Each structure stands twice: as C-alpha cells, then as structure tokens.
Amino acid sequence: MRLYFSWVLFFYGVLIAPVLLISWCFSEPFFLSLLWRSLMLGLGLFIVLLMLGLIAHRSHRFSSGYHYFLLVMFWFGASLLSACFFMLYPLDLSWVDAFFAGVSGLTTTGTEVFKDLTLLPKSLLFYRMWLQFLGGLGIILMAVTAFSSGGFEVLRGVKFDLPGPVVSYSEKKPKMSDMAQYLWLIYAGSTLLCVLSMKSLGLDWFESVCESFSVLSTGGYGLYNEGVAHYQSQGVKVLMMLFMLFSSVNFLLHYQFFILREAGGYLRNYEFRGYLMQLSMVTVIVFFTFYYVRDVGAGVDGFFMVVSLLSSSGFAVTDIQAWPSFLPHLMIWIGLIGGCAGSTSGGVKMIRLQFCCQEVFRACRLMIHPRVVLSDPAVSVGMSGSSVDSQIVIMRGFIMAFLAYFILSIFVLTGLGLTFQNAFFSICACLSNTGLILTLPQGAVGLSDAVKLWLSLTMLFGRIEILAFLVMFSPQYWMEG
C-alpha cells in the first residue's frame, strides 16, 4: 500500500517540478504564489494519502489483486491532480474547465477549452504539453518503470494502460516488466530526437520541446491559436508527420527492432502492414478526390491531415470542413479507427478493425459452405499463444461496449442540448482521443458544464479502454480480487 501512495506523490512531483522550473526561468510575476500553492497542494495530498493509508490498513479489504480498480483510480486521481494544478493559476477558470483541460491533456485528446492561447503564461502552455507527454505511454507503465525494483504489482492493468490488445510478436516472448523501462527509453529518446530536429528547423528551444511532447504523444495541443500553421514551414510539417507515424505504431515493434535487434518485426506484423495499407489508400483517395474536382489544394497539408487523423493526433493545418465531397467525414472515420495497438494513438485500433473484417469474411464463407473448417480469426490477424481465446472474447466485448457507449452518449448529449451532428462528432473526437471536433472548430469552448463533464468521462473511457471500467461493476471481480 505504501508503494502505491509513494507513486502518487512521485507523480505529483514529476507533474509540477518542470512547470515550476519553466515559470522561474521566464520570470513569471506569480511564480512565488504558484510555488506556495503547489507546496500547499502537495501537503494536502500527503495528508489525504496518510488518512487513506490508515483506513486501508485497518480494514484489510484492499489487496494488490484489484489491478483494474487501481488502473481506473490512478487515471481519475491523476486527472483530478492535473485539474487542481490548473486552478492554482491566476486565471478566470472554472473547475469544470480545469478538469476538462486536465483530462484532455492527460488522455492525449487535445480538445481545447481555452479560447485564446495568447492569454496563457508560458509555464501553463508548457504544462499542457507536459501532461500529454506523461499520458502518452500511460501513467501505469511509468509507475512500473519508476518502481520496477519495488514490486509494483499492476502488470495486468498495464496491458490496458497500453491501448489495444497488447501482444508481443517476438519469438523471445519478453515480459512486460522487462520491457517497461525500454519502452519509456525509446519514447523519451525519440522525443529528444524530435526536439533537436525541431530546433534545427528554426524553432526556439521552448517551442521545440513543447511541440515534441505533443507530437510524440499524438496529443494535439498547440502553443498558438493557429496551431501548426503558425510556423509556416513545410519542413516542420514533414518532421511532425514522421514522428506521428512513429508513435502511432506498436511500441513493442520498436522494442523488437531497437532492443532485441529483430529487424524484420515490422514487415512480419499483420497490423503494421494493414496500417500502412490504410494510410496509402486514404492518401490516394484524398488526392484523387481533389484532382477530380479540379482542386490542387491538397499537397503537403492534405497528407499532413491524413497522418494527423490516422494517428489520432488531431493537429490541424487546414479546415477539413472545406474539403470537397465526403472527405471531411472520411477524416473523422479514420480518426475513429486510430493507430496500432500498443502505441500512443487512440481509437478502436487497426488490429480490431482487421479482426472485425475477418469475422465478416468467416461469416460469408460459412453461409456459402456451412461445413467448411475456418481458421481462428485471432490467428488470421497475427495473434498466437495460449491467450488467443481470451483475446478474442475481450476484443468482441470491447467492440460491443464501444458501440453501446457511443450510442448512449448520443442520447445523453442530445438530451443535454447539443444537436445530433455536434453530439456525434464530439463523441467521435473524445472517444477516439483524436480531439478534432468537425463541427466545433473551437473545441469545447462554449459548451455547457454538463456536456464537458460527460466528454471528460468519454475521453477517459477512450484512453483507458472501456472494459477496464466495466470490470469494476462485476461482483465476481470484487469477490475474487
């Protein structure tokens, strides 16, 4: 129990220390006030954790078997902490807006709640990007990395903290506890490389660091109201596309390539090949449609938007609503699919889409040949091992839960006053953690508090993946935990 509480205090320190440093470096006039309030918040957090520790010690009801409970509580707790730090700034910011901004950052959704970013101090701009970086690979994975020698036993929950069906395709079958540190090393190393590359393209150090945090986490927050378009640099756009694609690929494949030296892992991976195929197909469709309507406005910006939505980053360099024909809705659709499992991307994930396609093909073949013996759908998409049957059940359950929550959210948001169109695209943006709401270019600005709270919950559902929440409603889980 003490280890879990130590992790909470560790997370709080990691969360605020760089922000306070930035505030001091830029000589912000409210630095001393921010420092004092941060210390008081930390003291209050320590007292709360101390009281919870005494209650848990006396009740003896809490055990390390509640992996998914810990996963959900850590994410909710981290979101509340993130919101509290927003409230420490001398801004006219409501609690609901602070909570929405914290969740949007930590889940790497990037839906904006601030109307004018030029009014925000440098340290707060940095804080938003820093939140996305911390949430990119998952806060539980960071805990395993930081406390790997201390017996931090939430490894079952880690598989839900890395979105999608997390399966190692290496023949060496490494354990998650062994990979955690290397995954964060790859993540941090690629971020550093992005920072240096951004600096070489003319950005200052502050812009390079902040933009790199947002790009590698596929978050979508920006430093300027114009977003990436502010830099007016094709080189910056190309560089961001490369790193967005890198982060939207399964990090276990990066681990295979950089750590295990298995160079053929990418090409042998069924999901990765499908991801590249989808990227190619959507790009061809976009450019062909622009050519068909005699519009040459796609160019680099068109390809940038395809990569941005497919990786669920949500960066915008052009108004896709002005795109011809069905292209705006196609962009939202690919954002809903998202990147690969085990990446920093949101969405349903490519491997689940491939699984659904295999299920349809199997159903059609059975209708034609009722007695035919078909291969397992999970094996068809590249999964293997003793856990295949359970992975099939989990994937089917996820898809049904995802659709059910999507429909429920439409009813809730329309009941709260949104039009069907706004409700639909808001759910697409938040449940997929893409953040780009097609019909609301200013994000969540102007929405009611009730809508923002529901969308905050939706972003958490999309990031942690909804099954982890539903597990906690099972009496059997609590009886066996």
* Average pLDDT score over residue span 110-138: 92
pLDDT over threshold 70, residue 140: no
The answer to whether residues 11 and 45 touch, using CB atoms and an 8 Å cutoff, is no
pLDDT over threshold 60, residue 165: yes
Place 297 in a pLDDT band, splitting at 50, 70 and 90: low
Which pLDDT belongs to residue 89? Answer: 92
Which pLDDT belongs to residue 427? Answer: 95
Which pLDDT belongs to residue 64? Answer: 47
Question: Lowest mean pLDDT: which of 233-242, 263-272, 409-418?
Answer: 263-272
Place 261 in a pLDDT band, splitting at 50, 70 and 90: confident
Which pLDDT belongs to residue 148? Answer: 56
Question: Lowest mean pLDDT: which of 180-184, 430-434, 435-439?
Answer: 180-184
In a domain, 49, yes or no: no
* Average pLDDT score over residue span 63-88: 82
CB proximity list for 196: less than 8 A, separation 6 or greater: 208
The answer to whether residues 337 and 278 touch, using CB atoms and an 8 Å cutoff, is yes
Closest-CA residue to 310 (of 212, 360, 241, 362) = 241
pLDDT over threshold 80, residue 295: no
User: Which tops the pLDDT comparison, 293 or 336?
Assistant: 336
Which pLDDT belongs to residue 3? Answer: 62
pLDDT digits (tens, 9 = 90+) for 27-39: 999 999 999 999 9
pLDDT over threshold 50, residue 150: no
Q: What is the dihedral of CA 72, 75, 79, 85, to 10 degrees?
A: 130
Q: Which residue type, as a one-letter code, is found at position 28?
A: E
Which pLDDT belongs to residue 403? Answer: 93
Q: How many domains does the chain fold into?
A: 1
User: How many CB atoms are located within 10 Å of the residue 258 CB?
Assistant: 14
Domain residue limits at 396: 385-480
* Average pLDDT score over residue span 106-130: 93
Residue with tokens 């997929």: 432
Question: Lowest mean pLDDT: which of 221-225, 242-246, 354-358, 376-380?
Answer: 376-380
Which pLDDT belongs to residue 458? Answer: 95
Question: Lowest mean pLDDT: which of 87-91, 218-222, 389-393, 461-465?
Answer: 389-393
pLDDT digits (tens, 9 = 90+) for 381-422: 666 655 566 777 888 888 999 999 999 999 999 999 999 999
Question: Lowest mean pLDDT: which of 169-173, 330-334, 343-347?
Answer: 169-173
CB proximity list for 188: less than 8 A, separation 6 or greater: none
Place 216 in a pLDDT band, splitting at 50, 70 and 90: very high
Which pLDDT belongs to residue 101? Answer: 94
Residue 173: both structure tokens together = 């079958």
In a domain, 391, yes or no: yes
* Average pLDDT score over residue span 451-458: 96
Which pLDDT belongs to residue 155? Answer: 46
Average pLDDT, the chain: 85
* Average pLDDT score over residue span 7-27: 91
Q: How far apart are CA 34 and CA 41, in angstroms?
A: 10
In a domain, 462, yes or no: yes
In a domain, 113, yes or no: no
* Average pLDDT score over residue span 322-343: 89
pLDDT digits (tens, 9 = 90+) for 44-72: 988 888 887 777 655 545 454 567 777 78
In a domain, 151, yes or no: no
In a domain, 239, yes or no: no
In a domain, 246, yes or no: no
Place 470 in a pLDDT band, splitting at 50, 70 and 90: confident
pLDDT over threshold 70, residue 294: no
Which pLDDT belongs to residue 282? Answer: 93
Closest-CA residue to 34 (of 81, 82, 71, 87) = 87
pLDDT over threshold 50, residue 152: no
User: Which tops the pLDDT comparison, 323 or 151?
Assistant: 323
User: Which tops the pLDDT comparison, 369 or 155?
Assistant: 369
Alpha helices in 371-387 (DSSP H): 377-380
Q: How far apart are CA 59 and CA 55, in angstroms?
A: 6
Q: How far apart are CA 463 and CA 441, in angstroms?
A: 22
User: Which tops the pLDDT comparison, 362 or 27?
Assistant: 27
In a domain, 143, yes or no: no
User: How many CB atoms are located within 10 Å of the residue 471 CB?
Assistant: 18
Which pLDDT belongs to residue 151? Answer: 45
* Average pLDDT score over residue span 204-214: 95
